[in-house]
Structure 1
Amino acid sequence: MTSTLPLLLFVVVSTVTPGGATTLATASGARFGFVRSIPLMLGIAMGLALLAAVAALGLGGLLLALPSLQTAVKALGTAYLLWLAWRIARSGPPNADNGPARPVTLVNGLLLLWLNPKSWAMTVGAAASFVLLASSPNRLAMLLAAAFGVAACASLALWCALGVLLARFFRTPRHWRMLNLAMGVLLAASLIPAWR
């Protein structure tokens, strides 16, 4: 068995870099605070861990073998994330009179991750690149799930905390509209690399 250091570096860099999940964690932290954002973060981390395990067990190979299935998954994920970006961009301050604001739930965070093209690229790439780290697909699945799950928890917590800090500077509805618009645009922009 070879060193897991390259895998750990790959996982840390791929989970901490900006993307759809980190943007959602930042927006949720700013809007709802850290504690109310925990279900979203746990759902995303669990979803990424599960996706990494499934990629190691062979679904990644199926997606690589069937480009039409890969395109369908990417299109569905893009549509969902663009819809979320639109909702974020159009939302007002946390105390706006447009109904009670609710953070994303654990289940929605888990499902959301499965529709994120960046997550598929990360996990399928890791499964293909680090297959020699384990003696069987099951062991690789456990290794990737643990690495991605732990790294996602830490990364999302950092991004959510950044959102909480940003919220301290936003006092007026105009500030909140600017932040929400920026978060929506960043979420939409995070999809561009998936279509290159």
Structure 2
Amino acid sequence: MAATSLLPLALFVLTSTLTPGGATTLATASGAQFGFRRSLPLLAGLSTGLATLACIAATGLSGLMLAVPSLQLAMKLAGTAYLFWLAWKIGRSGPPHLQTQLATPLGFLAGAGMLWMNPKAWAMTTGAGASFAGLAHHPAQLVTLLGAAFGLAAIVSLTIWCWTGLVLSQLLRTAAQWHTVNAILGALLAASVVPMWLQ
């Protein structure tokens, strides 16, 4: 497979993972609140969650999601509730040294679960599966290609967003500043739910 044929896929996955959304907001908030090292389990969970969704989309199982509207609705409701809960926890937290609702970093399962219940992530990986199926000669090859592409792109983009949060933490000096930034991050995470209901 020529490298030039992979360029459109690379551009797609990098663009889709770098743009702001629920996962990037969580990575930023975790970086600001807990630093890079303590955020690694969350970043690994988010990246693995997206990679596994891409693998599922490549096998065609995501077609079930598109064919059963009640399953889509149930997933949207569960995903919305989960994202609102995370947004509330982030929005109410203060400086890292205070005992707050977000007293410990979110872990691997929280990150993976956030992606598995996110209809936007399902739509993104399903679209990639349909658009780039021609790059592979066998379903197993497409599964490997999409899983690796989304997993690696997520690692890169979430690391950037987590470091952005870390930089923010160096700039914030007062409890009021921390509360304001966390409230903004919580609101952005809650707002990331809107596009999934407009589709």
TM class by shorter-chain length? Answer: over 0.9
Measured against aligned partners, the alpha-carbon deviations of 1:25-73 in whole angstroms (never above 9, x if no partner) come to: 0000000001111111011101110110011112211111112211211
Tell me how far apart the structure 1 counterparts of residues 11 and 102 of structure 2 sit (CA, whole Å): 40
- Unaligned 5+ runs, structure 2: none
Tell me how far apart the structure 1 counterparts of residues 162 and 190 of structure 2 sit (CA, whole Å): 18
| SS of aligned partner of 2:96 | coil
Measured against aligned partners, the alpha-carbon deviations of 1:94-132 in whole angstroms (never above 9, x if no partner) come to: 111347821011122112211122211111111111111
The number of aligned residues is: 196
- 2:71 is aligned to 69
Tell me how far apart the structure 1 counterparts of residues 9 and 172 of structure 2 sit (CA, whole Å): 38
Q: 1:55 to 1:42 in 2, by over 3 A?
A: same
| SS of aligned partner of 1:97 | coil
Amino acid at match of 1:142: T
Tell me how far apart the structure 1 counterparts of residues 127 and 139 of structure 2 sit (CA, whole Å): 15
- Unaligned 5+ runs, structure 1: none
TM-score (norm 1): 0.95
CA contact (8 A) 1:117 1:191 kept: no
Tell me how far apart the structure 2 counterparts of residues 72 and 97 of structure 1 sit (CA, whole Å): 34
Equivalent residues in 2 for 1:113-124, closer than 5 Å: 113-124=115-126
Tell me how far apart the structure 1 counterparts of residues 31 and 49 of structure 2 sit (CA, whole Å): 19
- 1:33 is aligned to 35
2:40 aligned with 1:53? no
After TM superposition, the structure 1 stretch with the greater mean CA deviation from structure 2, 21-30 or 94-103, is: 94-103
Tell me how far apart the structure 2 counterparts of residues 192 and 100 of structure 1 sit (CA, whole Å): 24
Measured against aligned partners, the alpha-carbon deviations of 1:124-148 in whole angstroms (never above 9, x if no partner) come to: 1111111111112221111000000
Q: 1:9 to 1:98 in 2, by over 3 A?
A: closer
TM-score (norm 2): 0.94
Counterpart among 16, 23, 26 of residue 24 in structure 1: 26
CA contact (8 A) 2:54 2:129 kept: yes
Identical counterparts, % of pairs: 58
Tell me how far apart the structure 2 counterparts of residues 180 and 168 of structure 1 sit (CA, whole Å): 14
Tell me how far apart the structure 1 counterparts of residues 158 and 75 of structure 2 sit (CA, whole Å): 24
CA RMSD of aligned residues (A): 1.4
